[in-house]
Amino acid sequence: MVIRGHGLFSETAGDKIRGMTIDTLHDSFLLPTNYVPNLLNLISGRGGSASMICVRAGVDERCTEALDGKLNWQQFSALIRESRNEIDEPALGLYLGSQLTITTHGLLGLAAMSSSTLGEAADIACQYVATRTPLVSLRMEQQGRYACLKMDELYTLGDIRATFLEALIVTLIAVLRFVSAERARLIRVDFAFDEPEYGELYQAFFPCEVRFNQVANQLVIPQEDLSLPSQLADTQVQRQATQQCEEQLLKWKSQQRLSGQIQMMLARAKGRFPSFEQVADELVLSPRTLRRRLAGEGTSYKELLDQWRQDMACQYLTTTRLSVQQISHLLGYNDPANFGRAFRRRNAGLSPLNFRRQHAEQNVSSQASATITARNGAG
């Protein structure tokens, strides 16, 4: 059952409106190529050219096949964008997610499937998801009789947001089903974006209620289902796989720039941002050393915090129906007026509400132009 939203905004997250610097923000980290071969195989199976996609995305195709391959944000987002265009499939995320079995998740998949219970598998996924993708974090939250597996977006995803989140949630459902031998009961799936034009297709991928324009992206199952035993429980295998996941996580962190690690910390803070000294302590650095190393990367903690707030504000304003007051609290402002002043400073005097209104008007105009173009082409 699909619950249709009435939101005004598309998934573009305002990345073409003043103030958004998604590519600049994402320059500070690299993404693993874990699922790129699956993506390119899907495209080839649909009659598309994987080689041409890589060329247009500026990616060396050999890199996509390497075990430790890395892509920058521009390459990663371009691969997804070009893949959608290559086979003219806006619902690419749904189809990609359905092809990702638990074994495609490497050591994390092995650790999850060998866990003793579904809850333990979920905890491992939450702890080590960064070894597969650093773009989101996972957390379990109990709400009455239900357990909610929430996906927190650590970075603004721009025009690949829906595609990425669709693939993630579809494959997470597959993991829950595999570990529980199909016994886990999926109650509801929530997406924090507007229903796409292909919304009817969701019924084929989600055997439950689907809601759009929600505050969070999440899967909801009965709390008691976390106690379901795993069909392939193996304590020794699970211990070894988890240890290797920990080694992978430490290795990944060591390869990231400090600014990238700090951005992840900011995203997880949920408005309760750590002080500069607390950040230094978590990174096991003295404040003086942290300040010097960030200066070497051409930034500072204040600049990272301000830029993260700016980009997330734009994403919330253009892809959700959250009020300005709710957004201000999510971004760590005690007073919405302070948020408004900070936003106007970074957006040429444009208030949050006017920014939202301008984006909606541009979106309507773009959709009208696309419709006219399609009609002219058909004629």
Q: Are residues 83 and 38 in the same domain?
A: yes
* Domain-located, residue 152: yes
Residue 111: partners with Cβ closer than 8 Å, 6 or more residues away: 121, 124, 128, 238, 241, 242, 244, 245
* Domain-located, residue 178: yes
Q: Are residues 136 and 35 in the same domain?
A: yes
Residue after which a domain boundary falls, among 246, 274, 290: 246
Q: What is the pLDDT of residue 111?
A: 97
Q: Are residues 201 and 335 in the same domain?
A: no
Q: Are residues 86 and 199 in the same domain?
A: yes
Q: What is the mean pLDDT of residues 100-107?
A: 95
> How do residues 188-210 score in pLDDT, each as one tens digit?
999 998 899 999 999 999 999 99
> CB-based burial of residue 246 (10 Å sphere; 0-12 exposed, 13-18 middle, 19+ buried)?
middle
* Domain-located, residue 374: no
Q: What is the mean pLDDT of residues 156-164?
A: 92
* Domain-located, residue 199: yes
Residue after which a domain boundary falls, among 246, 277, 304: 246
> How do residues 3-48 score in pLDDT, each as one tens digit?
443 333 333 333 443 333 445 445 557 888 999 999 999 999 999 9
Two tokens, residue 170:
């579809």
Nearest to 241 by CA among 335, 109, 47, 353: 109
Q: What is the pLDDT of residue 377?
A: 57
Residue after which a domain boundary falls, among 222, 246, 270: 246
Q: What is the mean pLDDT of residues 148-170?
A: 93
Q: Are residues 114 and 233 in the same domain?
A: yes
Q: Are residues 332 and 196 in the same domain?
A: no
Nearest to 172 by CA among 143, 146, 133, 209: 133
CATH number for 297: 1.10.10.60
Q: Are residues 306 and 166 in the same domain?
A: no
* Domain-located, residue 141: yes
* Domain-located, residue 364: no
Q: What is the pLDDT of residue 24?
A: 47
Q: What is the mean pLDDT of residues 298-322?
A: 88
Q: Are residues 216 and 351 in the same domain?
A: no
Among the ranges given (92-96, 252-256, 315-319, 334-338), the one the predictor scored with the smallest mean pLDDT: 252-256
Structural domain count of the chain? 2
Q: What is the mean pLDDT of residues 140-166?
A: 93
Q: Are residues 176 and 310 in the same domain?
A: no
DSSP 55-121: HHHT--HHHHHSTT-EE-HHHHHHHHHHHHHHHT-TTHHHHHHHH--GGGGHHHHHHHHTSSBHHHH
Sign of CA dihedral 364, 368, 369, 373: positive
Q: What is the pLDDT of residue 122?
A: 97
Q: Are residues 198 and 264 in the same domain?
A: no
Q: Which of 65-74, 334-343, 354-363 tops mean pLDDT?
A: 334-343
> How do residues 335-345 score in pLDDT, each as one tens digit?
999 999 999 99
Q: Are residues 274 and 301 in the same domain?
A: yes
* Domain-located, residue 233: yes
Q: Are residues 24 and 136 in the same domain?
A: yes
More confident residue, 247 or 367: 247
- Measured N-to-C along each axis, helices 50-57 and 36-45 cross at an angle, to the nearest 10 degrees, of 130
Q: What is the pLDDT of residue 318?
A: 85
Asked if pLDDT for residue 119 goes beyond 90, the answer is: yes
Query: Which residue segment(s) compose the domain that 291 sits in?
Result: 257-359
